[in-house]
Structure 1
């Protein structure tokens, strides 16, 4: 075997294996690294209070910063592109992707004032480009955002195929089909490793074509010609935005984008000729009063119940320009992301209380997934016929189901690897081994700071049950100068339960006086603080069966 073929290729998974979001895969050839995607994950407020975004951890990447030759973006969704500005703050690197992905990245990077730390390189469908030692080929693949790419790396260990997010839509809005023919060619030549989207690996059959949603929207719009229409979807879901606009134009309505990301994405997509919307039809929110509500279609953000997004503000009646009522129809052209269900249906209820008609995918076919279901995944595997397979992009049960499907189509058990974040695989001489792996914890972003760790998040969770703080003041002889002071928030109503506070003060007085009888602990403020904290926790738990955070301070007068 030639020396070239014996060179190892390492693949490291920093995100997306076990969660929906924060997707990031890194491939190493000849000591150089190529990063595929760097996305965000939206936090679950119940377990990540105060966190705005969750990113792949940068520690390992920072340790290899000088070896990174590029970052390839598969498509323009936040869970693949949203972390790029954060990446660039630490590491200067060129960006590669489709024209739309690069335009969306350019907007983010410009807002973050990081343009001097990168360059943008557009990859066309079917193009093959050298990036450092990497021979990169990109293929068209259908998804819910236009110009999504399947990345093929031609390496010393053979071809590696990374699908990004995808479905196999046979009637896409823009007519751009998944290049299954090229994948079959690659399969004939031999694909060493397939890494494929697993988000819908649990779901049988095929996902509905995006064009079917347009049929539903046209019918709903025609049936409600006398009502104002407000349609919410992801701002990056430009195929859906196109169909909303088409339905509105067919009914003679003006289109009003609302929400910062929607306005920006509509502008970018129109400039790239990705979104076709005649200029006379497009209006801004400050022009709404010029038209009868029945002449208007508002397309807005907030379909996931995000607190400050346009539709959430409308539902709360706090939007400065839009107030809904019985003459409005609101269409949620999306499906709740796992973890967002409560927020979405709270919003739906708020809209309904204001008299609006609310239509979502539980009522009508107003949404279809952008991710392949089992029949489509089977079609991909039959085209690629890889030597090795690693399911990516999904919660662990999704990865496991995708692995099961790979075995169903004929792959041997040992050639299918269900991995988690931080895993590494090494390909060499036709073989694959699992490497040592790297740490891949969550990286939390909160406001202007992005360094809260798991301990800080744990402390925040503890505070959700309230907190109790005790202050003890000792005189110069180490005796109580005053009764212990108890302050609390979120634990109990101190006026309604004054007897409990009084009993706690009595208990703490006894504890401090008892400490003073022990000569060795008489002037040990730290020791008394520990006793007070433990006694407070014990009392609170026994008397109220609640677990607030406990803190104590001992002040010794001199």
Structure 2
């Protein structure tokens, strides 16, 4: 965990967000001051069994907690704020600055974790300026798929470090949200931008991203043409899409019921902050929506990513306590699957279709547009801000590479663009650049209990159990007389069907018997650890030779005193 910055160098590094979609967390360090930008989570891969999401190891920040001046937030999506409770559990004194909508979501998270009363939360706006002895922070307005989206400028003696956050350049945003502030971006560019950290999610898309207003019109037309009940699924934080769905319901005389705690919170926050203006009588509860004629009913719910416990999955599985599918239902997925969620989403769509629902999804129906800019918007960001150095962030490795190529197409020198990995420390001055060390940042897994201490070993064990199965070995031994008194007995779960594998089980028992005798012959008082290790290693090799599979071996040795 070595970082060697010279006194005049600005250090830039990611605690998460490089080589991946999610877990965004970027830091700027100058001498004894650190500014953190965003603190998100990442959704688990398919083979990370029983894991809800992944956060980063914050050890470097804990070690340097006295240097941290602020955590500033670009917007309220999970991959930018979901890790905040886990960071504040370790360093509660960090002041957190966020826009109004993001702050309302952060408060909800901290309250769930019992941290709200001890947290230092402050509201930021596009004209906010935070001043510290050596660094200062200002903001610039962008657009995304959520209200109150800002880019961040960290001002250093060597120039400004700009972080775009998630952005697209939508000139016709919905909900009376303002367009991007090109003037402020240009002003920062003219003052001198040392480095630009830019969103790479759509680096492989060669065009501009469609405006949210285009999707709003398309969704309105689709909803107007539906006769039966509508189940509308999207991200709870995508208030633009929620607003569009509710407005279409109002225009077509439908009542709206909301399902899913995060959706309920998101809508309530939108109402409280004045972003959602919903006519009285539009929102109804579950009992009323069940007695509303289908052509006058809309269900607004979570679960567009196929999450097994979300409202839509429970409706599809028939396990929802209040809502069941009806033959003429239309389900609208107004989102794209996050990388890693495609299989779950496809499975959910199949379930809904099998149950008789009509499913509307995908780009073909124009029910979703990305909140991330394509290559043309990425070029515009570079041309307006005119950075000396360029660092693609928030994207998988190939996206970062393509984004650097896009930057180079605008005239950026190749040696001024950097494809970094999480933990790489880039040291910059106006005239120099170098890698100044690497911070070790292992994954931290959070399981369904909310615990953030699920280690790599546990996840690996779950993978082995799922793929190879479990074999339990039970034996009673008398070390004094070097005898096996009972067993060894072998039980299999998920490895082989025991009734059809009697020959294999019998051979494995004999194999373990000989292992026990050999270990006791070597040492009259062998340690239980050595005995178990010998059984695991030898039995795994034996079973692999017979089946080409390596199940988890769990020895249970009972010693007769």
How much has 1:36 moved relative to structure 2? 0.7
Q: Counterpart in 2 of 1:283?
A: 284
Q: For 1:105 and 1:441, how far apart are their aligned partners in 2?
A: 24
Distance in structure 1 (CA, Å) of the matches to 2:315 and 2:429: 56
Equivalent positions of 1:18-417 (< 5 A) are 18-46=19-47, 48-91=48-91, 92-131=93-132, 133-173=134-174, 174-224=176-226, 226-417=227-418
CA shift, 1:107, in A, is: 1.7
Residues 478 and 556, structure 1, Cα contact 8 Å, conserved in 2:
no
Cα offset for 1:551?
A: 2.8
| Separation in structure 2 between the aligned mates of residue 131 and residue 311 of structure 1, nearest angstrom | 47
Greater mean alpha carbon deviation, residues 149-158 or residues 431-440: 431-440
Q: Which residue of 2 aligns with 1:556?
A: 559
C-alpha distance after superposition, 1:64-102 (max 9, x if no partner): 112212111100000001111111111122211211111
Note if contact 1:6-1:428 (Cα within 8 Å) is conserved in structure 2.
Answer: no
> Counterpart of 2:513?
509
* CA spacing shift, 1:192–1:512, aligned 2, 3 Å: closer
**1:500 aligned to which of 497, 504, 507:** 504
After TM superposition, give the deviation of residue 530 of structure 1 in Å: 3.9
CA-CA distance at 1:284 after TM superposition: 2.3
Question: Using the alignment, how far apart are the partners of 1:514 and 1:96 within structure 2?
Answer: 65
CA shift, 1:404, in A, is: 0.8
Residues 532, 152 of structure 1: alpha-carbon distance in 2 compared, 3 angstrom cutoff:
closer
Q: Shift in Å at residue 459 of structure 1?
A: 2.2
Shift of 1:308: 0.4
Name the structure 2 match of 1:468: 471
In 2, Cα distance between equivalents of 1:171 and 1:108: 31
1:477 aligned to which of 472, 481, 490? 481
Residues matched between the structures, number:
550
Pick which of 59-68 and 141-150 moved more: 59-68
In the superposition, the TM-score normalised over structure 1's length comes to 0.95
Is the CA contact 1:23–1:56 (under 8 Å) kept in the aligned structure 2?
Answer: no
- 3-state SS in 1 of match to 2:332: strand
Q: For structure 1, which segment, 277-286 or 319-328, has the greater mean C-alpha deviation from structure 2 after superposition?
A: 277-286
| Structure 1 unaligned spans of 5+ | none
| 2:543 aligned partner | 540
User: What is aligned with 1:450?
Assistant: 452
1-structure distance, mates of 2:518, 2:268: 72
Residue matched to 1:433: 434
Question: Cα distance 1:55–1:511, how it changes in 2: closer, same or farther (>3 A)?
Answer: closer
- 1:178 aligned counterpart, secondary structure: coil
Q: CA deviation at 1:189?
A: 2.4
- Counterpart Cα distance in 1 of 2:99 and 2:532: 61
1:384 to partner: Cα distance: 1.3
Counterpart of 2:3? Answer: none
The answer to whether the 8 Å contact 2:159/2:430 transfers is no
Deviation, 1:221, is 1.2
**Residues 502/53 of structure 1: CA separation in 2 closer, same or farther (3 Å cut):** same
* TM superposition shift of 1:523: 4.7
Query: What is the alpha-carbon distance in structure 1 between the residues aligned to residue 120 and residue 484 of structure 2?
Result: 66
Q: Runs of 5+ in structure 2 lacking a partner?
A: 1-5
SS at match of 2:426: strand
Query: Equivalents in 2 of 1:11, 1:438: separation in Å?
Result: 11
Shift of 1:507: 2.8
Distance 1:74 1:193 in 2: 17
Structure-1 separation of matches of 2:123 and 2:501: 66
Counterpart secondary structure, 2:539? helix
TM-score for both structures, normalised by structure 2: 0.94
Check the 8 A contact 1:157/1:430 in 2, yes or no: no
